[in-house]
Structure 1
Amino acid sequence: MALLEVQELERGFGSKTFNTRIEVLKGVNLSLRKGELVALMGPSGCGKSTLLNIIGGLLRADSGKIKLKSSGSEYTYGKKKPSGVVDVRRNGVGWIFQDFHLLEQLTAQDNVALALEIKGMKKEEADEKAIEALVKVGLEDRIDFPAGQLSGGQQQRVAVARAISGSRPLLLADEPTGNLDVKSGEDVLNLFKELCSDPVNPISILMVTHDPMLATKADRMLLMRDGITAASNVKEAWGVTE
């Protein structure tokens, strides 16, 4: 069963009046199953980040529909302002970016807990959830370390812990390994696969990447070009043989 469904999503930028309109998304359709890791690839400027921003409720589409089933959220774009987007931003989607966006003077625990406190969670509960998430990403021995003293790979793990701490069913990852060395990037991808295959509470991850070798670790790959997506088998797309 699909956790996420995107139907006929369209988005353009610029003015039709002044002939500067550029149609970036041209009827995008895609779906993610629960526990699935999907890599989204394509040339720069093809709309990958725009698509993630719309799914995550950070940007409005011109038209189309998005359903996030586990949270019961559904929002349709068109003439009226869509409902359900705020709930998706708060409870449905976790974000992981190329830049970690951590407060370097705060500990790993405080960086994760702060995001929960901003949502209204009491500090004691937020601290417990933060520790639980950090243990899950393998940072139980770095909980009290200032983020600025952690390696790049460890900082990205803190960012992952922050994203999963609110029990969100979907993670959107925009170039999550772009600032990491090869080994750290592989470690993050392996962590993603562990989170997706969790027997108790598997999550789904839609990840933008330019690295074809990392994409081969995904369950499925979507190639984006000319404003639309085309599903592809990862190994066949890149000529990888067993």
Structure 2
Amino acid sequence: MAIATSGTCLEQNAWICGDYVRTRSDELWTATREHISLTVTAVPIGLVIAAVLVLFARRYRVSVPWIGGLTNVLYTVPSLAFFALLLPVTGLSVTTVRIGLVVYTLVILFRGLLAGLDAVPDDVREAARGMGYGPTRLLLTVELPLALPAIMAAIRVATVSTIALVTVGAVIGHGGLGNLIYDGLNSSFKSEVLTASVLCVALAVVADLLLVALQWLLTPWRHRRRSRRRPGGGQPEATTA
């Protein structure tokens, strides 16, 4: 991959071009901001909807395969076709993209939340009930903390996949960095395609690292337990005089 010298890289249409970043910084920032906005609204909305579905499914277990099947069907619908179905209602707006992104998170979040809560040992639930815990207190103070690693894993996958799917919104003009990738491909503008693609990957990596850090902060007991462990599972060696 050849890198053109500064001042001529735009004219030579080089893949890596510092002049492009400097002269189009406002355009890059606007696209990045829209990409982030779509992601940070779609994932939380999807999480809330998935949580409601999980609570309903746990109360009425017969509905689990129906809800799971519906989310699977919606996930298999191609994004372009899904946008086309929404166009008569929401038009060529950012709402169309946001609805599509929320729907695509449901299959990941519903499965992750349900699997995490179902993995809580029954004896732990029985012990909590024996101590007088009601359903709400049991869920919030016992089940959710124990299921948090599985839930956070689902949120991480949903977030990274959403960042990737945002680019598809470029077909209706609301794809964040996908707009630049789409325009660059149409015009064979190499530096625009590469820069927007790298930024998209960087967003996914940063988002995943932030969620890992959040999980670390929300589960301090797991770190304390690891710190008490010794290699081989034995006791600390006694000091000699």
TM-score (structure 2 length as normaliser): 0.26
Q: Which has the higher helix share?
A: 2
Q: TM-score by structure 1 length? A: 0.26
Considering fraction of residues, name the structure with more strand. 1
